[in-house]
């Protein structure tokens, strides 16, 4: 083969792999290849940008997910909404009282019917607004569509937003799967359930603005930014499946398997998921208790 012919072949291969738009049918095949089947309960974390060009935009990826699980399956997505907290509990220097009052007056109440998601991506925000989608009632919420949606999203407390009696706890109980399309394991919110199973020794106080007014809470919450640390362990034990959805490197994990393993690691080492010292205010605050086991 001549150099010119070889170059033409390389260009053709590049265009074939990267130049065409992904369709919902092709994405559904990629999702099924990861181990998602008809009737599954799936919580999907997605990056549409990593998927590449998608014919039909975010709606096409949602359609692909629905095709993969079928009419008997349930699709869930994170529906977290930030910016509703009392500024007195923000990390960093405590502002002057007059500034706190001014900032507090500007905080909108969280309304599960209308409050947009924050930092969850365009697919999750589009999904939240679809007809028939249910959303749990607290800011660290989950949106769901399918036969199990009402059970998953019906109740949620501020004091246990991601524990065993929360929407992600119910996904764990149902034997759901975590699907990560173009994102890493630090986005897998189901791993917070492991903190409840392991009874991690830290809590965080806060106050959030709901439609019913300002409400205080004390919850076991950690940032989750270091959940990626468990990926090599999951891979070593054959508990994670890799593939592609469009151009996005993707993963599928049994929620029960990953949460149970994470709980074992946390019981042995409570600080397993804490961020590096000095990089995260929440983790720095939790570290003394993790080290003392109190």
Q: What is the pLDDT of residue 6?
A: 60
The pLDDT confidence band at residue 15, using thresholds 50, 70 and 90, is very low
In three-state form (DSSP H/G/I as H, E/B as E, the rest C), the secondary structure along 239-283 is CEEEEEECCEEEEEEEHHHHHHHHHHHHHHCCCCCCCCCCCCHHH
pLDDT in tens, 171-212: 999 999 999 999 999 999 999 999 999 998 888 889 999 999
Rg (CA), the chain: 21
In the chain, domain spans: 22-83+111-198+225-292
The pLDDT confidence band at residue 92, using thresholds 50, 70 and 90, is low
**In terms of DSSP H, where are the helices of 95-148?**
97-105, 122-128
Q: What are the φ and ψ backbone dihedral angles of 179, each rounded to 5 degrees?
A: -115, 120
Q: Give the mean model confidence (pLDDT) for residues 23-39.
A: 97
Relative orientation angle of helices 24-33 and 57-69, to the nearest 10 degrees: 50
The pLDDT confidence band at residue 281, using thresholds 50, 70 and 90, is confident
Q: What is the pTM of this model?
A: 0.88
Stronger pLDDT, 156 or 276, i.e. the higher one:
156
Q: Is 35 helix (H, G, I), strand (E, B) or coil?
A: coil
pLDDT at 115 over 70: yes
157: left (phi over 0), alpha (psi -120 to 50) or beta: beta
Q: What is the pLDDT of residue 201?
A: 81
pLDDT at 97 over 70: no
């Amino acid at each position: 083969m001549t150099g010119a012919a070889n170059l033409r072949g390389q260009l053709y291969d590049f265009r074939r792999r990267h130049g065409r738009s992904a369709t919902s049918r092709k994405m559904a095949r990629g999702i099924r290849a990861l181990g998602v089947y008809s009737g599954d309960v799936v919580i999907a974390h997605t990056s549409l940008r990593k998927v590449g060009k998608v014919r039909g935009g975010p709606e096409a990826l949602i359609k692909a997910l629905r095709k993969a699980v079928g009419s008997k399956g349930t699709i869930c997505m994170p529906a977290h909404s930030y910016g509703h907290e009392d500024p007195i509990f923000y990390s960093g220097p405590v502002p002057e009282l007059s500034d706190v009052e001014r900032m507090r007056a500007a905080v909108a109440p969280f309304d599960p019917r209308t409050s947009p998601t924050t930092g969850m991506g365009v697919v999750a925000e589009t999904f939240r607004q679809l007809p028939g989608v249910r959303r749990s009632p607290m800011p660290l919420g989950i949106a769901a569509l399918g036969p199990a949606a009402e059970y998953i999203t019906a109740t949620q407390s501020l004091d246990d937003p991601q524990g065993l009696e929360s929407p992600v706890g119910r996904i764990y109980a149902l034997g759901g799967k975590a699907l990560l399309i173009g994102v890493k394991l630090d986005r897998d919110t189901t791993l917070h359930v492991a903190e409840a199973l392991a009874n991690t020794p830290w809590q965080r106080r806060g106050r959030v603005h709901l439609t019913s007014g300002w409400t205080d809470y004390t919850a076991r919450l950690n940032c989750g930014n270091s959940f990626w640390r468990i990926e090599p362990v999951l891979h070593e034990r054959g508990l994670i499946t890799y593939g592609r959805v469009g151009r996005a490197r993707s993963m599928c994990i049994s929620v029960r398997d990953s949460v149970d393993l994470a709980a074992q690691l946390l019981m042995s080492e409570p600080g397993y998921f804490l961020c590096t010292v000095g990089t995260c205010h929440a983790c720095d605050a939790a570290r003394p208790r993790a080290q003392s086991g109190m």
